[in-house]
Structure 1
Amino acid sequence: MNLIDSNHKMFEGNSYIETKILGLLNNIAEVSNLRAHLTNAKLLNKLKKLAFSDQTSVSYFAIGIFAQLASDETIDWDSVDDFEFDFAHTMCNQIRSWPNTSSEMVSYRSFEPLGLLLFNSRYKFISMWSLWAIHHVCKKNRKFFQQNLIL
């Protein structure tokens, strides 16, 4: 996490690099045994800021990390010092503001990580993020998923 933090500081404001770093963190957040490593206030507060970035790709990955973390009922948000998870409802508005992008931001070979979140009722933004991701991936990689649709 120190490596990610120092690289983020070095490339802060460079949405291309931020997107790559957040994509890596999103992959880590998909692994339930690793999520606890992402629950430190410094990182979470940085992600909270990035969740509301004007850059759709940056916002997408930051909210995706929160979706993975918030879907995990073993994470006690109250135990994370200096961080308040009080913005779940505003992430829905952020997701609604995302345009249909012209480029492929992310690719999945399976919808399994997204499918696990799609019907999560803990917070509305979790399923909204998952549905937006599935729509985006299918739209940008239609041929692959027509042949290989597996949830």
Structure 2
Amino acid sequence: MSNYLRPVLGLMFIALVAGLPAGAVKGKGETDKSDVLGNWSFQTKPYREGQCVMTGTMNLSPHPDEGLYTCEITAVEMCTMWGRSVVRQSCEARRFGDQVSVRSTIEEMIETKAPDMVYVPDNFTLTIQSPERMFGALVSAVTAPVEFRRANDGIS
């Protein structure tokens, strides 16, 4: 390598590292795509032969144990055959590297058009794609692809 290229490459490396979010460089080439704390919105792909879709919000809060989070989910399921259900759930999320596992417990059925329907807690298995996006699967009474996006607090 020429004497000219060394300083240029060194400056490029410094600029790259300086542009990363704090805590993004972990060592041994690993990167931490984000901390998952905060507010997220989500939406599934259609399921039950295209008749249902779920949207909602999730808030992840700190937990004293490393890699563990407490959370709350509000899920809105829209199905052409039985209408809309809105469910508030408490949850616990566990992070393993870029993987996040969410296990929920139903706290309150806020709205339902089918009073005899048994609603199963909404669990998720997710992979962190970036600080703004997680992708994975709803694992509940059905399984469906789901995308989580970091919620942006707007000004109204």
Which TM-score bucket, shorter chain as reference?
under 0.3
Q: TM-score, normalised by structure 2?
A: 0.21
Ranked by relative contact order (alpha carbons within 8 Å, sequence separation 6 or more), the top structure is 1
* Higher percent of residues as helix: 1
What TM-score does the superposition give when structure 1 sets the normalisation length? 0.21
Larger Rg: 2
Structure with the largest fraction of strand: 2
